[in-house]
Structure 1
Amino acid sequence: MIPPKPRSRPDKASLWQHLRMFRRDILSSQPARLYRAWMAEFRTPFFRSYLCNDPALVARILTERPDDFPKSNRIREGLAPLLGNSVFVTNGEIWKRQRRIIDPAFEGGRLRDTFPAMVAAGAAGVARLTPGLVEIEEEMSHAAADVIFRTLFSIPIEHQIAAEVFREFRTYQRSQPLLNIAAFLPLPSWMPRLHKRRTLASAAIIRSLIARLCAMRAAEIAAGTAPDDLATKIMTTPDPVSGQTFSTEEMIDQVAIFFLAGHETSASALSWALYLLAIFPAVQDRVAAEAASLSEKPTFPELSKLKYTRDVFREVLRLYPPVPMMVRENLCPEEMRGRNVARGAQIVLSPWHLHRHERLWPRPDEFDPDRWQTEENRACARDAYLPFSAGPRVCTGAGFAMVEGPLLLAMLVKAWRFQPVAGRDPVPVAHLTVRAKEGIWLNLHRR
């Protein structure tokens, strides 16, 4: 059985047709040939875009010369109302300073400290589920948001402000396309960015709520009563170069991206994981058998028992990478596979296509967690596996996600059996992350 994959558009489409499809859903707007191409060029009247699947080019852009390929400001156009100048959208010295302050909070030892909060969120997520028909994306969004609030601010999702942020973010998500129309047009900086009114309103509400959380935490830090969580660590860590900490506005930007990236991406991955386990019951049984060895409140060392579950989660990230595409911009002329790429071109790196590339992976569209124990697959992964990007801009929370994902998956499967619903196969689409067009519906039964 081949898991769901979007239909590809015809190889030939007009610019207007492509832009309309692209804005509606990036995945289905791409031609099938991109799953076997090393490089492809897309022309608009205003700029040229190059999708690069060649592992050598990916390495050049992400790891060998990352400063020559900063993040494209075209992606920033759509997310700026919520994210401001967060670490997700900045470049150069601003980004480097932000990473110097943020990275220590996510070092290995800190993951052990956040583990009890993850377990508590996982237990709450298990308890919220009910037997019968369940839309699992909504449930996993709730669980992933709970993880973020417990680890970042030591508050559960039921906390009034946390609940308000979560509810408003659902509104924001439904109104915000991955790319704003300004990403395609050369608009001057003074011109309005054509955001939907509802999108702007939701972003403003979310940021005001985050500002309240940050102000409360700043007061606790000043009083010496702040809990030792991620927010405290980030707010009190000075930049080792300048000695300065984040300002209040900077902290709001960073919390916004922690919530967006940490909650949206995990929810996407966990939802697809549970769907795949539902349609591959033998795999689900192996995860359940492994999860049965966990204690009622798992401890950090028990993660070592979840080897197969971890491989399942890796395979889910391969087939359904939460962030399907990344866009960079080259600062100087480049030669790529015999093509002259002018300065300012948009360079697209697509985990979605790399992870399913027909020349790089054996049986690329098949769900096979066992592939992660073969040397052949490990070689493929070194060349073409980017669920968290790579190089200096690798996701700060990659280690966090690889603890959270297998842990919650094991806790959920230990308590519940997941089964597919006939006639309701999900269709992957790209919104802020890879989601299902009409949700992921599963039947749940207690174990």
Structure 2
Amino acid sequence: MSEPDDRPRNVFVLGMTDLQREELGSMRRAARYRFRSLLDYHTLVRDTEYDFDALLDEARAELADFSGPIDAIVSHWDFPSSLLAPILSHEHGIPAPSVTSMLKCEHKYWSRLEQQQSVPEVVPGFAAFDPFADDALDQVRLPFPFWVKPVKSHSSNLGFEIHDEQEFESALEEIRAEITDVGDAFNQVLDRVDLPESLRGVDGNTCLAEEVITGIQAAPEGVVARGRVSVHGIVDMHRDPSGHSIDHLDYPAVTVPAEVQRRMVDTAERFMRHIGYDDGAFNVEYMWNREADLLRLIEVNTRISQSHTELFLKVDGTSNHEVAIDVALGEAPRMPRRQGRFAVAGQWHIFHDADAVVRGVPGEEDLAALERAVPDTKVTLQVAPGDRLSDLPHQDSYRFKLGSVYLGADDHDQLADRFRQALGLLPFELDPVTDPVTEEAAG
């Protein structure tokens, strides 16, 4: 009879940051694990150009140099990390979704085609188009306004709301200049699977046009483990007044009625089963129009959200990393409910609307003062002194993000008050940038 294996499990985390390491250490059973970074954050997240095959080989080499057992490989970032993880997991016998099922979520046009087959009632109007074609606008059979975005991109980068032909042409200029940074690497993954005839010519450098949808945004997050779908929380996603950017996240969701939340979960489950997605985490973003009672699916993400981690920790008492690791280890996912310090939690973004050069950011003393004033508050900075905002990678197409604040509170009003208090304690020094071309035109 073999002895029980009580050794700590080696969990490799793609692009692990200091904040993630801290969050992982806060898990209820953290002592069971040894967390090890695989590749680095800047290579996987901050860089703007990728060679997927080269990154895969680099990760393989790091794992080969490790002398112990490789028990789990997890990722909480977008592409390329999201697709490196399942490929590496399969090579080491670790449970993970198939690459094909991942691509049916991550390739935005392919995902829409699969959604049409399985959950057509939540799919907005859409069309694929070649941004390099002379007749690109003719390929979009949607009335103005509509959204355009690459079939694969980072966050809201290269996403534009289009109201007329002039705006479409202006968006194409930016898209053509940058789409291949991610698109070429995404094509390296597409080459690994058999694509359906419906995707002929629709590669990683293609764009998607979609009907503009409005309403209240929310996202269920969960896992599929050995064929069983479970949702451990639903997060409210609040847009800024323009409707272009996510302004802040709240957990647990309260803006959407329970019956609509059930529809969200049901739709997510039907879609995941349809594409054969198993042994992985997910979160699905929806928009609900209250007046028309119209539910629309925005996109399916193939991971837990790093933005949600602090929220679950503050409200439920442990990081959502826990269920992702459970699944990767082949164990039943276990997530506590409402055992945290706070009744509600939020992630609030700090934005700047115009281009600028960063001269100063909050320092250690500022962060310590914030912690004293608003306990258990976390801050992540996206900028450093000397940065020009327009040069930063993976930024929203409409605003520049300076950082994010994670807070807990007794209710949503207190949460908003605490963010305003935090904002007043976080000094950023920004020098405006004058565009010489604009200045000449004005003269």
Q: Which has the higher strand share?
A: 2
Normalising by structure 1, we get a TM-score of 0.25
Q: Which has the higher contact order (CA 8 A, sep 6+)?
A: 1
Q: Which has the higher helix share?
A: 1
